[in-house]
Amino acid sequence: MFRRQLLRQSRTISESVTAVSRVRQSPFHSATFISPRPATSPYLSSRLGRRWQSTESENNSGEQPAASTQETKPVDAKEDPVKQELEKYKKEVVDLKDKYLRAVADYRNLQDRTKREMESARQFALQRFATDLLDSVDNLDRALSSVPQSAPGESAGAGESNKDLVNLISGLKMTEEILMNTLKKHGLERYDPLEGGGRKFDPNTDEATFFTKVEGKEDGEIFFTQSKGYKLNGRILRAAKVGVVKNS
């Protein structure tokens, strides 16, 4: 009885050992355990791949403009100072040109003004001297005007006694003529409003000393010259003093 039990146990042990050895010799014994994954179809995997590639390309295409703008910004930043400097120089050139033209115009105006002043100074340098000389010329003219128009010898009686007087009057006339010609060379001229038959009163050239009624003459007409007038290079040095008709 006891032997039978031992025999059974030994058989059981041998069978278990044989089973273990078979399991070790099996090709599936060394395989590692892989966690089960959900099975995906090839069509779904290809769509997922394409979608991933398309989103990546979109991301890349979206990033390129940003990169380009980032690249152009430094270029613009470099060009702006150059343009600003160029505009600054252009404004300076325009400003300097304007100042140059103004300076040239001022210089030419100064030349013209200086030339006119020099010419005026040359023409009217004798103004004060001529003004002081007018009284002497007037006295000489009055002295000759007091002599009768007829020959001095005839009025006083012909004779050797009046010869000196005739020579004196002739000498005074020659002196006056030479003096007036000399003054005329320097621009000083004498005028008489009654020369040429008379004329109307002109306040620009005449000075009315008195008014009176005169028959046969119109109002404002000059009928008497008290003192002759003088011009220096066309400018009135002294107005003629005259008497004017006023009948009304």
The C-alpha atoms of residue 94 and residue 51 are separated, in whole angstroms, by 63
Q: Average of pLDDT values for 155-160?
A: 52
3-state secondary structure of 57: helix
Q: What is the pLDDT of residues 189-201, one digit of tens each?
A: 999 999 888 889 9
The C-alpha atoms of residue 222 and residue 197 are separated, in whole angstroms, by 10
Q: Which class would CATH give 124-245?
A: mainly beta
What pLDDT was estimated at residue 33? 42
Q: Report phi then psi at 237, rounded to 5.
A: -85, -40
What pLDDT was estimated at residue 35? 46
Q: What is the pTM of this model?
A: 0.51
Give the dihedral of Cα atoms 62, 63, 68, 74; nearest 10 deg: 140
Winning range, highest mean pLDDT, from 87-91, 102-106, 232-236: 102-106
Domain positions in the chain are 124-245
Judge contact between 230 and 189, C-beta under 8 A. yes
What pLDDT was estimated at residue 248? 80
Q: What is the pLDDT of residues 76-99, one digit of tens each?
A: 545 688 888 888 899 999 999 999
What pLDDT was estimated at residue 147? 80
Percent of the chain with pLDDT strictly greater than 70: 65
Percent of the chain with pLDDT strictly greater than 90: 31
